[in-house]
C-alpha cells in the first residue's frame, strides 16, 4: 500500500514535535512494514488572517489521489480530499479553539457589515458540507477588496475563528475521514475537536531518541521551548522558593529566555543549557533525579515519555493535560496544583527522598514501554494489526486472551481495577491480552496498550444504554447498577459487541471478569476456552446492596442466573479465596475441580515500604502533635459501611485515639448525616500520593470487617506499606495471617482493648510483626507470584469445552 503522510511546513521553519512525529512515522512505515510512504508538506503561514486563509485553500486544492491511503494530523493538512483518509490528530489551531478564551474576545463576529453577515449566514447554512468550497474561498476573497473595517480581520478574532471552524468542519467531516485517531486521550476528549459521536482511537507516538539509559541522581532536569505555554517560569519561581540543594538544569531556547535568566538571577542552583543535541539529551535524562514538566494543557508531552523511558519520575501539575495520562501520583511521579508553593514543596520532598524516586524507576519504564510505532500503525493502518498478529501466530508466538468487564481498567484506582490490571499485566509475558471494557457515555472510544502485551479497548455506552441504566438506578434508590443491569442492556451498545467479536475471533481464551457480560461472551464464543473470574460471590453481594423491592429482587434473580451460568459454562473458575469457592459450590453445585484460587495481591513497586523509625519521622514532619492514629480504608460498599459504623462505636470508647477514615465510605457517612465523634477524621477519596503518605505515618491500620466476600485488598496495602495491622479473622480471610506474627487478630468486640495494647506494646515487637508481614506479602501475595501460580494451573488444566447454550438475560 502506498501511503501519503501530509503535513504543514511551518514558516519560518523550525523543528518541533509535529515534525519529529511525521519523520518517525514515515521511517517506521518504510522500514518496518510492507508498505511504502512519502511525506508531503506545503509551506504553512499563519501570521495573519489572510495567510491562514491562503494556506487552507492550498491544502484543499492538493490532489494526492496517487496514494492508496492518506494520513494527516494537523491543520490545515486535513483539508486534502481523499477517499481513504485517516486523521491522526495532534491538535487544531488552539488559539481559535481551546485557548481562544484567553484572548477575551467574542465568540461571534459583529454582523453589522452586510458582506460579513452574508458570509456568516453562508457558513451557518452549509456547515460541514464540502460542496462549493472553492466558491466559499471566493466569497472570502471578496471581503479583501471591500470597504470593511480592518478589525474584522484581526487574528485571532471572531471572524477568523468562525471561518476556521467552518473549514475544519468540512475537512474533518465523517463523509471525508475514514478513521479518527489522536495522539492522546487529552486531545481525543477536547470539545469541538472531533465530530459528535465519532469513534476516536488513541495511539501514543514514541520519542525519536535512539535509546535511553538510567544513570545517577544528580539534578532536576527539564527541556522544552522557553515560552509561556511550557511554563518554565513557574518552575523557576518554585525553585527560588524551595530550600532544596539539588541543582536544576533547563535545556532549550525560546522567546522567554532572557526574562527567565533575569528571574533566576544569581541563584547558583539554576542553570540554563540552551540548545542541546540528542546525545546530550539522553545523558541529561539519565543522570537526573527527576524531571519537572509543567506545561499548560499539553496535547501529549514527549518529555514525559522520554523521562520515564530513562527511569525518571515526572513532576507535573493537575492542569498539564497529556502528561497526566502517564504520571500516577506516588508511582511514576507526582501531580500537584499549578502554583510555585506546591511545586516548591514537592521539589524539596523529592530532594530529601531519593530512595522513593529510585523505587519508581521500574514503574516509569513499564508505563511507557508499550509506546511504540508498531502500536501506532496497528491503529492507523487498516488490517496492519491483524496481519502482524497473524504473522506472529505463524511464527509460534504467544496465545491470546480476551477479557470482558463492565468498567474501565486503566488507570487502576479501585480494588477490582487493580486486580485485573496487575494480574493480567503479569500474565501478558505469556499471553497477548485484550481487555474489552465498557466506559461512560460521552467519553471517547479508546484503544491503547496499558502495559506491554496488555491492550484495553474502552467502548462508551450508547445514549440509550446510559439513559435506561439511569432510570433503573433511580428506581432502585440510586445505587450503582451498571454491572447488574449489563446482562439486559449490553446490546444497546452494539459497538461493544462488535469490538468483542473482533477480539475474540483471534483468541484462545475468553475471560468473563464478574458474570455480568457473560451473555455477550457466549454470543461471540466459538471454540475458545472459557474462564470465569469471580472476584466475589455476586448473588450474596448484590442481595446486601440492592433494595428489597420488585425491581431489586428481579435483578438479584438475574445476578443468580448469570452467576450460575458462569460457573456451569466455564472450564476454570478463579476465586479470591477458598471461602468464595466453597460458597459457589454450595449455591450452584459447581464441580470443585474447576476452581483455582487466585488471591488478591499487591503491586509492591507502587507501595512505599517504611520501617518503624522512618514512619515516626514522617509522622513528626506531616502530623506533628497528632495522637496515636488508627486508619481504616474503605469504599462506599455495604460490608465496608457496616465496618465503618463499628469504627464510630470504637472511637467513642477511645477518645484519646485519633481515627482516620480514608475512601468514599466517608462520603456515605456525610451524605446520610451520621454524627461523628470528635476524634474521627474523614479523608475521603484521596490521590495515590496522599494514600501512600498516610499509610506511611499512621500508627495502626485496622480492618473491622465481618461480612462480604473475596479477600480485602486493603490488608495487603497495609502490610506492604509496613503499617501495623489489627483485623478480625473474617477481615483476614484467605491471607494466612498469623496472630502475633504478622499482626493482631481479634473479635470485633475486643478491638478497643487490643488497640490500646498495640499502642503500649514494645516497639521491637511491633517492628518484628511489620517486617514479617511485609515478607509474607512479598512471598505469597505479590502479583508476580500469583500470576506465575495461576499460569501453572492454566497449563495443567485447560478448560473443558462446554456445550454452548443461549446467552442468559440477553432477550
For 117-166, write each residue's pLDDT tens digit: 999 988 888 765 666 788 899 999 999 989 999 999 999 999 999 999 99
Q: Per the structure block, which three cell numbers stand in for 120?
A: 456568516
By C-alpha distance, which of 496, 517, 521, 491 is closest to 509? 521
Q: Per the structure block, which three cell numbers stand in for 751?
A: 478491638
Which phi-psi region, left, alpha or beta, contains residue 736 (left: φ > 0; alpha: ψ -120 to 50)? Answer: left
Q: Per the structure block, which three cell numbers stand in for 621?
A: 514532619
CA dihedral 799, 496, 406, 197 (to 10 degrees): 160
CA distance 305 to 601: 28
Q: Per the structure block, which three cell numbers stand in for 637?
A: 460498599
Q: Per the structure block, which three cell numbers stand in for 63?
A: 490532489
CA distance 723 to 702: 10
What is the number of other CB atoms lying within 10 angstroms of the CB of residue 265? Answer: 9
Q: Which residue has the cell 497529556?
A: 322
Can you tell me whether residue 97 is helix, strand or coil? coil
Work out the burial of residue 345: count CB atoms within 10 Å of its CB; fewer than 13 is exposed, 13-18 middle, 19 or more buried. Answer: middle
Q: What is the DSSP letter of 781?
A: S
Looking only at the bridges linking them, the beta strands covering 454-460 and 446-451 are: antiparallel
CA distance 602 to 426: 12
Run of H or E including 349 = helix 340-352
pLDDT score of 516: 97
Q: Per the structure block, which three cell numbers stand in for 273?
A: 543549557
- Which residue(s) pair with 38 in the sheet? 4
CB burial string 220-259: b at 16+ within 10 A, e below: bbbbbbbbeebbbbbbbbbbbebebebbbbbbbeeebbee
Tell me if 451 sits within 8 A of 425, measured CB to CB. yes
Looking only at the bridges linking them, the beta strands covering 529-534 and 744-745 are: unpaired
Regions of the chain with pLDDT less than 50: 799-811
With both helix axes pointing from N to C terminus, report the angle between 361-368 and 302-309 in degrees, rounded to the nearest 10: 130
Can you tell me whether residue 396 is helix, strand or coil? coil
- 703 phi/psi in degrees, rounded to 5: -140, 85
CA distance 228 to 255: 9
Q: What is the DSSP string of 100-140?
A: GGGGT--SS----SHHHHHHHHHHHHTTT--TTHHHHHHHH
By C-alpha distance, which of 451, 446, 396 is closest to 424? 451
CA distance 116 to 139: 10
pLDDT score of 809: 45
Which residues, other chains included, contact 699 with Cβ-Cβ below 8 Å and sequence gap of 6+? 615, 619, 628, 629, 630, 724, 759
How many helices (H) and strands (E) the chain has is answered by: 31, 26
Which residues, other chains included, contact 42 with Cβ-Cβ below 8 Å and sequence gap of 6+? 8, 9, 55, 58, 59, 62
CA distance 582 to 588: 10
- Which residue(s) pair with 179 in the sheet? 86
- 676 phi/psi in degrees, rounded to 5: -100, 135
pLDDT score of 724: 97
According to DSSP H, which parts of 189-277 are helical?
A: 232-241, 257-264
CA distance 119 to 453: 52
Work out the burial of residue 708: count CB atoms within 10 Å of its CB; fewer than 13 is exposed, 13-18 middle, 19 or more buried. Answer: buried
Laid out side by side, the sheet with 629-633 consists of 680-684, 658-662, 629-633, 700-703, 725-727, 744-745
pLDDT score of 130: 63
Long-range CB pairs of 743-747 (<8 Å, 24+ gap) are 743/719, 743/769, 743/773, 744/769
> Is the four-CA dihedral 673, 674, 680, 686 of positive or negative sign?
negative
Q: Which residue has the cell 468542519?
A: 169
Can you tell me whether residue 464 is helix, strand or coil? helix
CA dihedral 181, 187, 188, 194 (to 10 degrees): -80
> Is the four-CA dihedral 425, 773, 687, 217 of positive or negative sign?
negative
Tell me if 203 sits within 8 A of 88, measured CB to CB. yes
Looking only at the bridges linking them, the beta strands covering 85-91 and 69-74 are: parallel
By C-alpha distance, which of 620, 670, 625, 618 is closest to 644? 670
Tell me if 528 sits within 8 A of 431, measured CB to CB. no
Beta strands in 583-653 (DSSP E): 595-597, 629-633
Beta strands in 677-740 (DSSP E): 680-684, 700-703, 725-727
Amino acid at each position: 500500500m502506498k501511503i501519503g503522510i501530509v503535513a504543514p511546513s511551518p514558516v519560518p521553519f523550525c523543528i518541533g514535535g509535529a515534525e519529529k512525529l511525521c519523520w518517525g512515522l514515515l521511517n517506521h512505515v518504510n522500514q518496518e512494514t510492507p508498505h511504502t510512504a512519502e511525506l508531503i508538506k506545503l509551506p504553512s503561514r499563519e501570521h495573519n488572517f489572510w495567510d491562514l486563509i491562503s494556506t487552507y485553500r492550498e491544502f484543499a486544492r492538493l490532489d494526492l489521489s496517487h496514494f492508496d491511503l492518506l494520513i494527516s494530523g494537523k491543520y490545515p493538512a486535513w483539508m486534502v480530499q481523499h477517499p481513504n483518509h485517516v486523521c491522526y490528530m495532534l491538535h487544531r489551531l488552539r488559539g481559535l479553539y481551546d485557548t481562544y478564551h484567553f484572548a477575551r474576545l467574542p465568540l461571534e463576529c459583529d454582523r453589522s457589515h452586510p458582506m460579513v453577515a452574508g458570509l456568516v449566514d453562508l457558513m451557518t447554512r452549509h456547515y460541514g458540507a464540502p460542496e462549493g468550497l472553492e466558491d466559499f474561498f471566493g466569497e472570502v476573497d471578496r471581503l479583501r477588496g471591500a470597504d470593511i473595517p480592518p478589525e474584522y480581520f484581526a487574528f485571532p478574532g471572531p471572524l477568523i475563528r468562525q471561518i476556521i471552524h467552518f473549514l475544519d468542519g468540512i475537512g474533518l467531516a465523517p463523509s471525508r475521514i475514514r478513521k479518527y485517531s489522536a495522539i492522546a486521550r487529552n486531545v481525543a476528549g477536547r470539545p469541538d475537536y472531533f465530530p459528535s459521536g465519532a469513534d476516536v482511537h488513541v495511539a501514543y507516538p514514541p520519542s525519536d531518541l535512539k535509546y535511553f539509559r538510567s544513570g545517577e541522581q544528580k539534578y532536576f532536569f527539564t527541556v522544552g521551548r522557553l515560552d509561556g505555554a511550557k511554563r518554565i517560569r513557574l518552575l523557576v519561581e518554585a525553585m527560588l522558593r524551595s530550600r532544596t540543594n539539588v541543582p536544576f538544569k533547563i535545556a532549550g531556547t525560546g522567546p522567554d529566555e532572557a526574562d527567565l535568566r533575569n528571574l533566576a538571577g544569581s541563584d547558583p542552583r539554576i542553570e540554563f543549557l540552551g540548545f542541546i543535541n540528542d546525545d546530550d539529551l539522553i545523558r541529561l535524562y539519565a543522570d537526573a533525579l527527576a524531571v519537572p514538566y509543567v506545561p499548560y494543557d499539553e496535547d501529549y508531552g514527549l518529555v514525559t515519555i522520554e523521562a520515564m523511558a530513562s527511569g525518571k519520575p515526572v513532576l507535573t501539575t493537575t492542569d498539564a493535560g497529556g502528561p497526566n495520562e502517564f504520571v500516577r501520583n506516588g508511582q511514576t511521579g507526582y501531580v500537584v496544583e499549578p502554583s510555585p508553593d506546591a511545586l516548591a514543596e514537592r521539589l524539596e520532598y523529592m530532594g530529601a527522598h531519593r530512595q522513593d524516586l529510585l523505587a519508581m524507576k521500574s514503574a516509569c519504564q513499564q508505563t511507557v514501554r508499550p509506546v511504540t510505532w508498531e502500536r501506532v500503525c496497528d491503529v492507523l493502518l487498516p488490517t496492519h494489526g491483524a496481519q502482524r498478529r497473524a504473522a506472529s501466530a505463524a511464527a509460534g508466538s504467544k496465545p491470546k486472551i480476551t477479557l470482558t468487564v463492565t468498567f474501565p481498567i486503566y488507570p487502576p484506582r479501585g480494588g477490582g481495577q487493580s486486580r485485573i490490571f496487575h494480574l493480567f499485566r503479569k500474565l501478558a509475558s505469556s499471553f497477548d491480552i485484550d481487555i474489552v471494557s465498557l466506559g461512560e457515555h460521552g467519553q471517547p472510544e479508546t484503544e491503547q496498550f496499558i502495559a506491554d502485551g496488555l491492550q484495553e479497548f474502552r467502548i462508551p455506552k450508547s445514549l440509550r444504554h446510559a439513559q435506561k441504566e439511569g432510570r433503573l438506578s433511580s428506581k432502585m434508590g440510586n445505587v450503582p447498577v451498571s454491572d447488574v443491569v449489563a446482562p439486559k442492556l449490553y446490546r444497546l451498545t452494539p459497538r461493544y459487541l462488535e469490538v468483542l467479536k473482533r477480539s475474540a475471533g483471534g483468541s484462545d481464551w475468553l475471560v468473563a471478569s464478574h458474570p455480568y457480560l457473560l451473555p455477550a461472551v457466549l454470543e461471540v464464543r466459538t471454540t475458545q476456552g472459557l474462564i470465569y473470574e469471580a472476584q466475589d460471590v455476586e448473588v450474596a453481594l448484590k442481595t446486601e446492596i440492592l433494595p428489597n423491592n420488585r425491581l431489586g429482587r428481579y435483578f438479584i434473580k438475574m445476578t443468580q442466573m448469570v452467576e450460575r451460568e458462569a460457573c456451569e459454562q466455564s472450564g476454570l473458575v478463579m476465586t479470591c479465596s477458598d471461602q468464595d469457592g466453597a460458597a459457589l459450590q454450595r449455591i450452584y453445585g459447581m464441580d470443585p475441580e474447576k476452581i483455582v484460587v487466585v488471591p488478591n495481591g499487591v503491586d509492591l513497586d507502587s507501595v512505599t515500604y517504611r520501617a518503624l523509625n522512618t514512619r515516626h519521622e514522617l509522622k513528626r514532619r506531616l502530623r506533628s502533635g497528632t495522637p496515636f492514629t488508627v486508619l481504616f480504608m474503605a469504599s462506599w460498599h455495604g460490608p465496608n459501611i457496616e465496618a465503618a459504623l463499628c469504627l464510630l462505636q470504637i472511637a467513642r470508647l477511645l477518645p484519646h485515639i485519633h481515627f482516620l477514615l480514608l475512601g468514599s465510605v466517608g462520603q456515605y457517612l456525610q451524605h446520610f448525616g451520621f454524627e461523628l465523634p470528635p476524634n474521627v477524621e474523614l479523608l475521603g477519596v484521596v490521590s495515590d500520593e496522599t494514600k501512600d503518605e498516610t499509610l506511611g505515618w499512621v500508627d495502626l491500620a485496622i480492618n473491622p470487617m465481618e461480612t462480604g466476600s473475596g479477600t480485602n485488598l486493603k490488608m495487603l496495602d497495609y502490610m506492604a506499606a509496613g503499617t501495623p495491622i489489627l483485623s478480625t479473622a473474617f477481615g483476614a480471610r484467605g491471607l494466612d495471617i498469623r496472630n502475633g506474627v504478622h499482626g493482631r487478630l481479634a473479635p470485633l468486640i475486643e478491638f478497643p482493648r487490643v488497640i490500646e495494647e498495640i499502642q503500649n506494646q514494645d516497639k521491637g515487637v511491633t517492628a518484628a510483626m511489620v517486617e514479617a508481614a511485609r515478607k509474607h506479602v512479598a512471598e505469597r501475595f505479590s502479583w508476580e507470584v500469583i500470576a506465575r501460580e495461576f499460569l501453572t494451573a492454566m497449563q495443567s488444566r485447560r478448560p473443558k469445552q462446554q456445550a454452548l447454550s443461549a446467552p442468559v438475560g440477553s432477550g
